[in-house]
């Protein structure tokens, strides 16, 4: 009989896992607490092993058609003068600007559409309680429905509530002393294919990036130790940002003015998730719920895609879920460890506190792009996204096509 797997979370890891599990002959249900598909989100990278996974899914061409066409990142001063520039072609396309840049919502929609024909999606619901009986997992949904599954996979975010039900306080969240707010805003006359990064004293930065939908994606970053800002209401968070960035200069007034109309505003405290284990009984974790590396790593999407691929493949290889979960963890742990090896000082370097620090940062970035220093800079600025040997589990879109 087919294994029936419940996945909770429908962003990147969840739909990718649903597609692979179906390819390996399993029945899949995906539950997502949002009432409908969540569009929006910032630019994300599809690089390294993550790119190989989407190639095996037959999605690379569709992603290319939806890229943001970001050409470079320019680090600018208050007068919009470029102090340093890093192009997409530098560091073999694996630097801060990846060859494949796509909006989170665009990639999530592709994965959802790719898996929707075979997986059952339940929007506007969530797991209220679960009980691992040993042979099955009993699940009660918030809307009152009760079902049994062979396995439950948690593909939620950094603050996963379902993870807490099964793993309790085993999770360790490591703060990186950084807050970021994201939202879309109208495109301005200076916005183009080159992203612009502006630093202001006090650990503040404003990052404006192009998208493929006619708008600009904004990110406001504030480097300081955790103060609970993520627990404030959205209105309080917007008021906080207006106060803290009021004197930042450059095009910041325009960005702050767009806050009130932002429909996709998202605010988070940046950190990492570290777990002593990624499975317990018939419940396992994948993506940010298991090993969030933080946006500053440049590896979140690759970890989600690769983790989904490996977990599905190992479950297909073995009828023993415990053995499959152990193999998944053995393969992924080194890859995750490299992704999470982010210097604690990283946010302080990216968001200097003083004008002198900003000048030194921009000078260092300018030097990094010169040929004599580029090989060293490449090691520092290129995420280790390809540092894993992907097993071949078969059942990829290309292999299925050639076999047919």
Mean pLDDT of 177-197: 94
Note the pLDDT of residue 344: 73
Note the pLDDT of residue 387: 87
Domain presence at residue 208: no
Comparing CA positions, the residue from 331, 308, 394 lying closest to residue 114 is 308
**Average pLDDT along the chain:** 90
Q: Measuring CA to CA, how many Å separate 30 from each of 16, 140, 252?
A: 11, 14, 40
Please, is 129 exposed, middle or buried when counting C-beta atoms within 10 Å of its C-beta (0-12, 13-18, 19+)?
Answer: exposed
Summarised one tens digit per residue, pLDDT across range 281-291 is 999 999 999 99
Reported confidence tier of residue 94, pLDDT bands at 50, 70, 90: low
Mean pLDDT of 204-209: 96
What are phi and psi for residue 123, nearest 5 degrees? -90, 155
With 70 as the cut, is the pLDDT of residue 84 above it?
Answer: yes
Q: Per mean pLDDT, which range of 151-160, 227-236, 394-403 is the poorest?
A: 394-403
Identify any residues that bridge with 301 across adjacent strands, giving them in sequence order: none
Domain count, the chain: 1
Residue 362 makes CB contacts below 8 A (sequence gap 6+) with 75, 77, 83, 84, 199
3-state secondary structure 65-125: HCCCCCCEEEEECCCCCEEEEEECCHHHHECCCECCEEEHHHHHHHHHHHHHCCCEEEECC
Mean pLDDT of 203-228: 94
Note the pLDDT of residue 93: 58
Domain presence at residue 357: no
Strands 151-154 and 283-285, how do they pair? parallel
With 70 as the cut, is the pLDDT of residue 261 above it?
Answer: yes
DSSP state at residue 205:
E
Please, is 298 exposed, middle or buried when counting C-beta atoms within 10 Å of its C-beta (0-12, 13-18, 19+)?
Answer: buried
Domain presence at residue 26: yes
What are phi and psi for residue 390, nearest 5 degrees? -75, 125
Q: Supply the range of the domain harboring residue 281.
A: 4-66+106-173+272-342+383-403
Domain presence at residue 348: no
Q: Per mean pLDDT, which range of 87-91, 327-331, 339-343, 350-354 is the poorest?
A: 87-91
Note the pLDDT of residue 380: 52
- Confidence (pTM): 0.91
> Please, how many CA atoms are within 13 Å of residue 133, restricted to the half-sphere of its CB?
9
Task: Name the more confident of 296 and 12.
Answer: 12
At 37, which CATH number? 3.50.50.60
Domain presence at residue 184: no
Domain presence at residue 75: no
Note the pLDDT of residue 403: 36
Domain presence at residue 183: no
Domain presence at residue 234: no
Report how far residue 246's alpha carbon sits from residue 219's, in angstroms, rounded to the nearest whole number.
Answer: 15
Mean pLDDT of 370-375: 54
With 80 as the cut, is the pLDDT of residue 398 above it?
Answer: no
With 90 as the cut, is the pLDDT of residue 195 above it?
Answer: yes
């Amino acid at each position: 009989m087919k294994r029936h797997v419940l996945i909770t979370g429908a962003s990147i890891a969840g739909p990718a896992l649903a597609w692979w599990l179906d390819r390996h002959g399993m029945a899949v249900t995906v539950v997502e607490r949002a009432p409908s598909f969540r569009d929006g989100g910032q630019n994300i990278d599809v690089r390294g092993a993550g790119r190989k996974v989407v190639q095996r899914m037959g999605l690379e061409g569709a992603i290319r058609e939806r890229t943001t066409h970001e050409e470079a990142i320019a680090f600018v001063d208050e007068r919009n003068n470029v102090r340093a520039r890093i192009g997409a072609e530098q560091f073999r396309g694996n630097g801060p600007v990846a060859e494949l840049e796509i909006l989170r919502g665009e990639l999530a929609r592709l994965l959802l559409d790719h898996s929707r024909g075979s997986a059952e999606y339940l929007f506007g619901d969530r797991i209220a309680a679960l009980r691992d009986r040993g042979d099955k997992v009993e699940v009660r949904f918030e809307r009152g429905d009760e079902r049994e599954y062979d396995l439950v996979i948690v593909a939620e975010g950094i603050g996963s509530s379902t993870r807490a039900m099964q793993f309790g306080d085993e999770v360790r969240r490591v703060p990186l002393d950084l807050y970021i707010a994201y939202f879309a805003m109208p495109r301005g006359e200076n916005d183009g294919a080159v992203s612009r990064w502006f630093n202001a004293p006090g650990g503040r930065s404003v990052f404006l990036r192009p998208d493929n939908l006619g708008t600009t994606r904004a990110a406001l970053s504030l480097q300081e130790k955790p103060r609970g800002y993520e627990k404030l209401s959205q209105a309080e968070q917007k008021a906080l940002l207006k106060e803290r960035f009021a004197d930042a200069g450059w095009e910041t007034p325009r960005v702050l003015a767009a806050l009130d109309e932002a429909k996709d505003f998202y605010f988070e405290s940046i950190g990492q998730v570290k777990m002593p284990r990624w499975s317990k009984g018939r419940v396992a974790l994948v993506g940010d719920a298991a090993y969030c590396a933080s946006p500053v790593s440049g590896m979140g999407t690759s970890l989600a895609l690769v983790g989904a691929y490996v977990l599905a493949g190992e479950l297909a290889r073995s009828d023993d879920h415990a053995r499959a979960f152990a193999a998944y963890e053995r393969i992924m742990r080194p890859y995750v460890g490299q992704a999470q090896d982010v210097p604690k000082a990283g946010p302080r370097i990216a968001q200097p506190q003083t004008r002198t620090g900003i000048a030194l940062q921009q000078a260092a970035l300018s030097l990094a792009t010169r040929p004599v220093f580029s090989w060293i800079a490449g090691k520092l600025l290129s995420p280790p996204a390809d540092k894993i040997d992907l097993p071949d589990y078969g059942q990829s879109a290309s292999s299925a096509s050639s076999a047919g």
